[in-house]
Structure formats: C-alpha cells, structure tokens
C-alpha cells in the first residue's frame, strides 16, 4: 500500500504555521512563504498531507476500553466519573492548531492555476475542517466558528462560542463541498468522495439523534442528510462486504490481516514493519497492560444462530462458559476467544488463558499473528462500508420511514455475511426485546419503531465493536446512565474446576485462598479473594458464586454535566467571553 508521505523539503514552509501549536493568533509570518509555495497541484498535495495527522491511529481500536463495551485493567476517567476541568490552555481537546493550518490552506490554495486540483484539494481541506469541528462539537457542544486565519489583534480571537446550529450548519456546508468536489476514486489511504459520503452520513446520524434525544430542535434535516449520504454511497456500488473465509471467519479476517484492501474498507491507517508500528497486539495479550475483557451484557446481546434471543432462554444469566457459546451468532467467537480458540497462523487451539482478560471474555477482534503481539504492524480500519448500512437503517428508523426492504439491503446483509436469519421489522416492533430495553431506557415505549431500533442498536454494537464508536453512541442516544450498570464477566456457580473447551478436561480452577487439588490439566487459576464475584440474582459483591467482577466500584455518570467536556481554565481566563459548560464550574 502507498503510505501517506510528506516531502520534507516542501513541508518546511509549514514550520512557521505549526511551531506554536496551541494559539490561533500567531503572526502572519508565513504569508511571504505562501507566495512561493501555492503554485502547483503538487504543492496542494504536499500541503494537504499534513491534515491526515488529524485522523485517529490505533486509538480507533482501543477507544471502546473507555466505554461499556470493554473493561480494561484500569478503567478510564470518563467511565469512573473522574474527569476534571483541565488547567493548561489548549488541553483536554480544546486545541485549535489544526484548524489554523486548514484555514491557512483555504486562504491560499486558489493561487494554483489548476481547476481540477483546486476542486479536489479544496474539497479535502473542507473535509478535514468538517471533521475537526464535528469532533469539537461532540466534546464541547457550542464552540467558536472560525473560517479564517486569525491575526494578532483580530477581535474574533476573543469572541464567545457560536450556537451549535451555526457551527453544525457550517460543518454540513463543508462536507457537502467535499462530497461535490473530491473525485469518486477508491484510495485506501487517501480521502475520496466515498470517505466524505461516509463522514457526512456519520455526522448526520450523530447530530440528528443527539438533537432528538437531548431535546434540541432541528433533528430531521440531519437525519435526512445521513440517509441521503448513505444512499449515495450504497448506490455507487463501489464497495461491498468482505466475505473471504466464509461465515465462520470473514468478520475476523477483515480486521486481523496485515494489509487492508478496498472491498469493504474505505479508509485505513497504514502500518508497516520497520516504519510505523503500534501496540494493539500487546494490549490484547498482556496481563499487565490492557487486559481487555468484553462486558457480559454485550456477550448476552449476541443472538442464537436461529435468530432467537439468548436472553429469552431460561437461566441465561447463570449459564456456564462452554454452554453460552453454543449456537450463537458467529461474530461472537470472531470477537472474543470462545472454546477451542485458535490464534491466526497457529495449527492448534490456544490454552484457556484468563489472566490476560479482566472479564474472562478475551478480545480477539483484530488480534494479529503471534509475531505481532509485542509490536504490531497490521492496518487499522478508520471507515468501512458496513457503517453506511447501519447508518441508513438507523436514520430511517428514527425518521419513521424505515421499510422491511431497507433492512433487507442494510442490516440483513450484515447478518447474511455470518449466515444469521434476517431481522423482521414487524416482528421486532410487535415484540421488543425486554433485555435490550433495560440497556436503553431512554428509548421510550411510545416510539412505534422501538423494537426495530433496539435491534439496530444491537446490530451496531456487535458489528462495530471496538471500532471507536460506542462512547459517541451512548452520548447521542442520551444513555450515559448505561455506564453505571454493572460491567462483569464469566459466570461461575462456585469454586471448583471447569471444562471450557468441551473435551472433558478441566481448564479453569476457581478457588478461595488455596488452589490445592487443582487438576493438572488446568491452565487458568482464579482466586476469588483477588478476582471477586458478583451474584447476578442478588447483586451481592464478593459472593461465593456469580460473574467475575473486575470493576466493583462501577461506572459513574452525571447526567447534568457529563455529556460534554469542560473548557480549560486558562482558556476561560484568556477569553472572558467564553462560558464554561454547565456544572463544570467547580
């Protein structure tokens, strides 16, 4: 794959615009250099390369560890309710240097005498400005809108935050420009029209549902924009779902391979051995680092292979490990290590290892070959086609325009990839899933599409697991309280030895204080004095039976303030027209 490279001898003209990273009021020392730089299409390409650093890296695959999907060894501040107001200017997400670079580009790119290059690279710059502001609005709500380079003395340096409506209307104008002007090409590591369409769909869905569930007017136009963008992307026929390996392997293969292709992947971050690597393999396999584990209510959400609900089965909450993996949606054992889990590239199943996972449900989605467990170089997917399918279904359901035919060309394609039965809209709305309803109490009973929306949310959580979307989903649905529900793991009926693979040999030994008597076949030992249990029936902690309870203190979420982040104190002092977000004053 081609890597996104910067040409250093040309990039030096950007040094003056990048050295003071936290200020918008840097002097216009770079105006002279622009006269000598913005002359050719190649100049525009080199300048726009700098914007790609705004995109997420491997953090895409670790963000769920700061949500209710994955329980890490150490819970994130935003899950524990421990966020504090930062002090230093430009910290906590309140940084504007990337915007300054984008606006500088947009003020100068017109100098190039190449209409097609100006259209494309102008569109790419507007894509990144839309992306930049979308991220800012998700964090802070109202923010100042700047579409120019601010010079010393400009009164706009100290203006108040602009209304959300103005900012998001401007974001949509930018992404519409990008869609209209960037060519419809398939490029794995570059922004294209297809990337812009998916970003537009993501923005529209997020803003539309955020407004709807937070009581902010004007949600319909954004949901309609999401529908239109997703429809255009799907209708282009440029992408389809990756299916190599069949129902039992394709989903896992999509993420674990070294190099992405453009079957389903629209944009990926390219990593290469010896050039740029990451630590995701280590986080998924180290007992002292990430030690990630799936939350039990996520595991419960996977359907049975016949399409029925696991949570409708009598005694589902006290089902043992081996039994709960039988006849489930194939994505379950392509996401977490089930019985007889085999590492990619290995010929024999991996021994049951519970010391590398907090909950017992080990994360294996994107787990690479063993040689990459200490230093990985597999590509990271940033945008993929499956998200467009889910966006179209959810946006139409929220608008009340969803039909069964829409599900058949969106959600049901995802289910078909893993040979799961179709989602039937009428059946879902007639009999909403009570278990899923407890996860999302803000989705009210009077919503005529409540049942199908619960199913779409189930599908989104399963399909997009560990791809950096879960926190944003909870925030836009106004379901922050979900973080306060217990995050637990595998169920054990008491101390003793357990067969996790179904071969008649004991793999896990649970004990209280002393492990004397553990069978020689055991590969995982658990002392319930150290790894305590929570009774799923009574809720009792440090119980003699129950689910692994790695996070007994539980998540905290303040409905009055935690949907937004605080502005740093120094920035409030520098600009007296800025107001702090509600209830973050102290």
Q: Residue 267: beta bridge partners?
A: 383
More confident residue, 8 or 542: 542
Whether 30 shows a pLDDT value over 70: the answer reads: no
User: Does a structural domain hold residue 195?
Assistant: yes
DSSP H helices in 182-218: 193-214
Residue 152: predicted pLDDT: 87
Per DSSP, the residues of 529-551 read TTS-EE-TTT--BS-SSEEE-S-
Whether 33 shows a pLDDT value over 80: the answer reads: no
Average pLDDT of the residues of the chain: 93
What does the H/E/C string look like for 416-434?
HHCCCCCCCHHHHHHCCCH
User: Does a structural domain hold residue 148?
Assistant: yes
User: Does a structural domain hold residue 250?
Assistant: no
User: Does a structural domain hold residue 105?
Assistant: yes
User: Does a structural domain hold residue 477?
Assistant: no
Whether 213 shows a pLDDT value over 50: the answer reads: yes
Residue with tokens 């949600």: 219
Residue 553 φ/ψ, nearest 5 degrees: -70, -20
User: Does a structural domain hold residue 278?
Assistant: no
Question: 511-554 pLDDT, tens per residue?
Answer: 999 999 999 999 999 999 999 999 999 999 999 999 999 999 99
Count: domains in the chain: 1
Q: The whole model's pTM is what?
A: 0.94
Question: 398-413 pLDDT, tens per residue?
Answer: 999 999 999 999 999 9
Specify the CATH number for the domain of residue 201.
1.25.40.390
User: Does a structural domain hold residue 213?
Assistant: yes
DSSP H helices in 109-185: 115-140, 164-181
Question: 147-165 pLDDT, tens per residue?
Answer: 999 998 899 999 999 999 9
Contact 71, 295 (CB under 8 A): yes
User: Does a structural domain hold residue 128?
Assistant: yes
Average pLDDT over residues 106-115: 96
Question: 218-269 pLDDT, tens per residue?
Answer: 999 999 999 999 999 999 999 999 999 999 999 999 999 999 999 999 999 9
Of 257, 285, 289, 281, residue with least CA distance to 270? 257
Q: Say if strands 508-511 and 524-527 run parallel, antiparallel, or are unpaired.
A: parallel
Residue-number span of the structural domain to which 199 is assigned: 8-54+89-236
């Amino acid at each position: 794959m081609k890597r996104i490279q910067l040409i250093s001898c040309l990039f030096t003209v950007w040094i003056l615009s990048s050295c003071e990273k936290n200020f918008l009021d840097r002097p216009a020392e770079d105006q002279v250099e622009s006269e000598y730089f913005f002359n050719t299409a190649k100049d525009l390409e080199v300048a726009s390369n700098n914007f790609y650093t705004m995109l997420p890296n491997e953090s895409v695959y670790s963000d769920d560890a700061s949500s209710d999907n994955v329980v890490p060894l150490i819970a994130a501040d935003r899950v524990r309710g421990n966020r504090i107001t930062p002090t230093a200017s430009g910290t906590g997400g309140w940084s504007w240097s990337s915007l300054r670079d984008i606006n500088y580009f947009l003020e100068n790119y017109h100098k190039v005498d190449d209409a097609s290059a100006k259209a494309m690279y102008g569109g790419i710059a507007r894509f990144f400005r839309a992306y930049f502001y979308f991220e800012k609005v998700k964090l802070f709500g109202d923010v100042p809108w700047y579409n120019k380079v601010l010079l010393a003395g400009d009164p706009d340096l100290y203006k108040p935050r602009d209304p959300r409506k103005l900012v998001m209307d401007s974001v949509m104008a930018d992404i519409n420009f990008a869609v209209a002007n960037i060519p419809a090409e398939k490029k794995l590591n570059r922004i294209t029209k297809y990337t812009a369409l998916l970003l537009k769909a993501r923005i529209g869905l997020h803003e539309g549902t955020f407004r709807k569930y937070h009581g902010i007017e004007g949600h319909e136009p954004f949901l309609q924009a999401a529908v239109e963008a997703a429809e255009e992307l799907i209708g282009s026929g440029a992408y389809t779902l990756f299916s190599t390996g069949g129902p039992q392997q394709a989903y896992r293969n999509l993420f674990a391979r070294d190099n992405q292709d453009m079957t389903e992947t629209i944009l990926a971050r390219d990593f290469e051995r010896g050039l740029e690597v990451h630590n995701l393999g280590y986080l998924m396999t180290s007992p002292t680092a990430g030690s990630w584990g799936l939350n039990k209510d996520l595991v419960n959400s996977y359907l049975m292979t016949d399409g029925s609900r696991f949570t409708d089965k009598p005694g589902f909450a006290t089902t043992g490990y081996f039994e709960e993996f039988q006849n489930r949606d194939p994505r379950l054992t392509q996401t977490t290590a089930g019985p007889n889990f085999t590492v990619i590239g290995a010929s024999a199943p991996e021994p049951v290892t519970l010391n590398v996972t907090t909950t017992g449900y080990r994360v294996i989605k994107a787990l690479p070959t063993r040689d990459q467990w200490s230093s990985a170089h597999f590509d990271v997917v940033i945008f993929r086609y499956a998200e467009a399918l889910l966006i179209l279904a959810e946006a139409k359901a929220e608008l009340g325009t969803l039909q069964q035919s829409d599900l058949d060309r969106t959600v049901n394609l995802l289910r078909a990839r893993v040979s799961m039965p179709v989602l039937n809209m009428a059946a879902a709305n007639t009999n909403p899933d009570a278990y899923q309803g407890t996860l999302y109490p803000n989705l009210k009973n009077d919503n005529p599409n409540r049942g199908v929306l619960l199913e779409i949310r189930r599908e989104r959580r399963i399909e997009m697991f560990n791809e950096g979307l879960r926190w944003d989903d909870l925030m836009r649905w106004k379901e922050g309280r979900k973080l306060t529900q217990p995050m637990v793991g595998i169920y054990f009926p008491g101390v003793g030895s357990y067969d996790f693979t179904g071969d008649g040999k004991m793999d896990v030994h649970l004990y209280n204080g002393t492990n004397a008597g553990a069978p020689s076949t055991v590969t995982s030992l658990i002392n319930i004095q150290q790894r305590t249990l929570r009774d799923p029936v009574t809720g009792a902690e440090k119980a003699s039976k129950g689910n692994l309870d790695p996070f007994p203190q539980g998540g905290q979420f303040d409905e009055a303030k935690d949907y937004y982040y605080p502005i740093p104190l120094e920035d409030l002092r520098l600009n007296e027209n800025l107001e702090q977000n509600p209830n973050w004053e102290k």
